[in-house]
């Protein structure tokens, strides 16, 4: 029932984007390490689905949809450099995913 309701699915996505916007302190690297997705993934998924629908959307527009501002602005205002620990965990997870294939 709910899986076929586009209005509910769209509202949930808007709510997720609002939640992420309200928690800019949560870094993309942390999202990747904990949940294997980040804001950039959401932008890529948005772009892919727009293309499936026959829309000609630029990646930068998908990023702005997700970030609520141009990506370069978000990055300069909110993104911190990844720590060695964050990168080590990220790289280990990526390597493990590669081995699973």
Q: What is the pLDDT along the chain (101 residues), one digit of tens a residue?
A: 677 789 999 999 999 999 999 999 999 999 999 999 999 999 999 999 999 999 999 999 999 999 999 999 999 999 999 999 999 999 999 999 898 87
Element (H, E) at 46: helix 39-52
| List of residues 6+ apart from 44 with CB closer than 8 A | 59, 62
User: How many CB atoms lie under 10 A from the CB of residue 90?
Assistant: 15
Question: Hey, what are 43's tokens?
Answer: 């932008």
Q: Which domains can be identified in the chain, with CATH numbers?
A: 5-100 (1.10.3340.10)
Q: What is the pLDDT of residue 28?
A: 98
Q: Tell me, what's the pLDDT at 32?
A: 97
Element (H, E) at 66: helix 59-67
Burial class of residue 64 (count of CB atoms within 10 Å of its CB; 0-12, 13-18, 19+): middle
């Amino acid at each position: 029932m709910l899986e076929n309701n586009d209005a509910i699915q769209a509202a949930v996505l808007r709510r997720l984007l609002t939640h992420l916007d309200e928690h800019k302190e949560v870094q993309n690297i942390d999202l990747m390490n904990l949940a294997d997705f980040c804001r950039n993934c959401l932008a890529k998924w948005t772009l892919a689905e727009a293309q499936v629908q026959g829309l000609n959307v630029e990646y930068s527009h998908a990023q702005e949809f997700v970030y609520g501002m141009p990506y370069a602005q978000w990055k300069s205002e909110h993104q911190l450099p990844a720590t060695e620990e964050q990168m080590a965990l990220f790289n280990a997870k990526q390597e493990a995913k590669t081995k699973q294939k």
